[in-house]
Chains A and B, each alone.
Chain A
Amino acid sequence: MLNIENLSVAYGKIAAIKEVSLHLDAGEIVAIIGANGAGKSTLINAVSGVVPVQSGTVRFQDAEIHKMPAWKIARQGVVQIPEGRKVFPKMTVRENLEMGAYAEKNAADTLRHAEEMETMFPVLRERRNQLAGTLSGGEQQMLAIARGLMARPKLLMFDEPSMGLSPVMVEKVFQIIRTIHQQGITVLLVEQNAKKSLQIAERAYVLETGRITLADTGANLLENALVKRAYLGIAS
């Protein structure tokens, strides 16, 4: 479904992603784990088209999306839930949901879909007319996820969805990601929380300073000595 080949991204002269190749099959849930500055956000942003690709290709269902502008990539069904949530703070919760479905011109359809989202995330129904900037961090993350779903994604990419959340909330977010995956949406999950990510991912990649250093099933990586030491904090 998603095929990344020899992708390199640089900010000026500083290389952030170096010849990365990876792939996702339809219906899979795949994680990318890595430390601060490893290039996780850069990778996802390159797929989304908000950061220019230096070399290599990104193909999504046979379309070469690395040649497309970001808004068009989003309309192909490749949707990102950005790091730090980035809700529209001065719009209401409902308006944020509607913005997610911007490409959908049928208002009745959007309304129905927004109501479905409120059923999936009841807190968004309670807060429907509240300005998004006044929501708590956890609520904003729910809203960001729901807004992403409003775009009817085929591939949903999460950039550190558990960042800055309480343990209970982190649990909830991972539960939601699992649910979304069970609904048939392909998921690419970028996380520093290696343990939780590897537990729910079918496969995972380890990204270190812009390169992929390990690729295996989530279960195997959980048992990998290097991963244990570097990302799970377990001395072996």
Chain B
Amino acid sequence: MKLPISKPYLMSGVLLLLLVWPFLWGGDNAYALYIACLIGIYTILCLGLNITIGYTGLLDLGFMAFYAIGAYTAAILSIHGVSFWLTLPVCVLVGGGVRYLLGLPVLKLRGDYLAIVTLAFGEIVRLVANNTVGLTNGPKGLPRVGEKISEIRLFGWSLNDTIHFYYLILAFVLLAVLVSHRLEHSRLGRAFVAIREDELAAELSGIHVARVKSVAFVISGMFGALAGAIYAHWIGFVSPEMFTFWESVFLVAMIVVGGMGNIGGVVLGVILLVGVPEILRSTLGAKFVDYRMLVFGVVMVAVIIFRPQGLIPSKRRSLELHTPEAE
């Protein structure tokens, strides 16, 4: 796709728009900010998942598990009065650590098997959250009555308004985009793609395939936990039903619709599948909720028929789907 303006200008324009976005709505339109924050959180999440699915080609159907791990860790720590700025790195480390342990047995599997086992892991995490009442308060969620997820404090300020969270989330989205971009163009990022393309050839080129896969897996888990931790502080509540299998499938769908392995594509996918349904729900009323899955299904089918490589494909993926494999 040829853009009418050069990339740096486009980027600066988008950044400027994001910075003034709240003021376009008078600074206090809670709904516009809510949607923007939600898109931001999902962007971080999907950029994380994109590292495994998009770059490395590892199909993960239980990614919500890491969002849940981040959210619960943050909620539990914060209820006990731990500061957000300490909670955040702990959540990222816990998410990465669990992801590493999961990877040890799971990354030996390929394709469909990996998808099934990650799916199962996602369900296990949800069930654990549902049943370890002592730690998570089970289906009722955290915080318990009388408890509170503590406010985020920054330079003596308390972040308690949606607009504060808007800028906080924006900062982390930019960080996630930057990390993804750097990764994509690094030696490690090339190794991810090489593994996706031909694992045997990658190994023969001296790439420690098992370790590189593990690194991809861990980094993506960290993104997921980061998003979860921010979400828990923003909404101030976590419960197991937020992390169902369907949510994990939605994440994969966002990446597929937008364009796997492409940062801009992932962002677009999130806007379409998170933002548009939210806006429709507010304009069409609660009745729309009943049709949401239908609309979603139609969009998916349309994309798969008309643009199987996603709306903004990475150059590699589009080739993959349009030319027969050269053998």
- CB-nearest residue of chain B relative to A86? B201
CB < 8 Å: which of A74, A90, A98 contacts B204?
A: A74
B323 touches A102 (CB 8 A): no
Give the one of B198, B204, B325, B326 with max A CB within 10 A.
Answer: B204
Interface residues of B in 281-327 (CB under 8 A from A): 315-317, 319-320, 323, 325-327
A69 within 8 A of B: yes
A89 touches B209 (CB 8 A): no
Total contacting residues, chain B, CB less than 8 A: 26
Give the one of A90, A91, A131, A135 with max B CB within 10 A.
Answer: A90
A98 touches B207 (CB 8 A): no
Given contacts A90-B316, A102-B191, contact A48 B326 (CB under 8 A): no
B204 touches A50 (CB 8 A): yes
Q: How far is the CA of A70 from the CA of B201 in the complex (A)?
A: 10
Question: How distant is B196 from chain A, measured CB to nearest CB, in Å?
Answer: 8
A88 touches B203 (CB 8 A): no
Q: How far is the CA of A82 from the CA of B191 in the complex (A)?
A: 18
Given contacts A71-B206, A102-B191, A103-B206, contact A86 B200 (CB under 8 A): yes
A102 touches B206 (CB 8 A): yes
Given contacts A89-B197, A89-B319, A102-B191, contact A82 B325 (CB under 8 A): no
Given contacts A86-B198, A133-B323, contact A102 B207 (CB under 8 A): yes
A95 touches B190 (CB 8 A): yes
A82 touches B187 (CB 8 A): no
Which residues of A sit under 8 angstroms from B194, Cβ to Cβ?
88, 91, 99, 102
A88 touches B201 (CB 8 A): yes
Which residues of A sit under 8 angstroms from B190, Cβ to Cβ?
91, 95, 98-99, 102
B206 touches A88 (CB 8 A): no
Interface residues of A in 36-81 (CB under 8 A from B): 48, 50, 69-72, 74-75, 79-80
A133 touches B205 (CB 8 A): no
B59 within 8 A of A: no
A165-186 Cβ-contact flags toward B at 8 Å (1 or 0)? 0000000000000000000000
B173 within 8 A of A: no
B327 touches A80 (CB 8 A): no
Given contacts A89-B319, A102-B207, contact A84 B326 (CB under 8 A): no
- CB-nearest residue of chain B relative to A132? B326
Q: How far is the CA of A140 from the CA of B202 in the complex (A)?
A: 16
- CB-nearest residue of chain B relative to A110? B187
Q: How far is the CA of A71 from the CA of B317 in the complex (A)?
A: 26
Which residues of B sit under 8 angstroms from A100, Cβ to Cβ?
205
B325 touches A71 (CB 8 A): no
B201 touches A87 (CB 8 A): yes
Which residues of A sit under 8 angstroms from B191, Cβ to Cβ?
102
Given contacts A102-B187, A133-B323, contact A91 B203 (CB under 8 A): no
A151 touches B200 (CB 8 A): no
Q: How far is the CA of A95 from the CA of B185 in the complex (A)?
A: 11
- CB-nearest residue of chain A relative to B318? A90
A90 touches B206 (CB 8 A): no
Q: How far is the CA of A98 from the CA of B208 in the complex (A)?
A: 16
Given contacts A71-B208, A102-B207, A147-B205, contact A90 B326 (CB under 8 A): no
B232 within 8 A of A: no
A6 within 8 A of B: no
B193 within 8 A of A: yes
- CB-nearest residue of chain A relative to B326? A133
A99 touches B205 (CB 8 A): yes
A-B contact pairs, 9 of them (CB 8 A): A82-B200, A82-B204, A87-B201, A90-B193, A90-B197, A91-B190, A91-B194, A131-B316, A147-B205
Smallest CB-CB A-B distances: 5 pairs: A90-B316, A74-B206, A86-B201, A103-B206, A88-B197
B residues touching A (Cβ–Cβ < 8 Å)?
187, 190-191, 193-194, 197-198, 200-209, 315-317, 319-320, 323, 325-327
A residues touching B (Cβ–Cβ < 8 Å)?
48, 50, 69-72, 74-75, 79-80, 82, 84, 86-91, 95, 98-100, 102-103, 105, 131, 133-135, 140, 147, 151
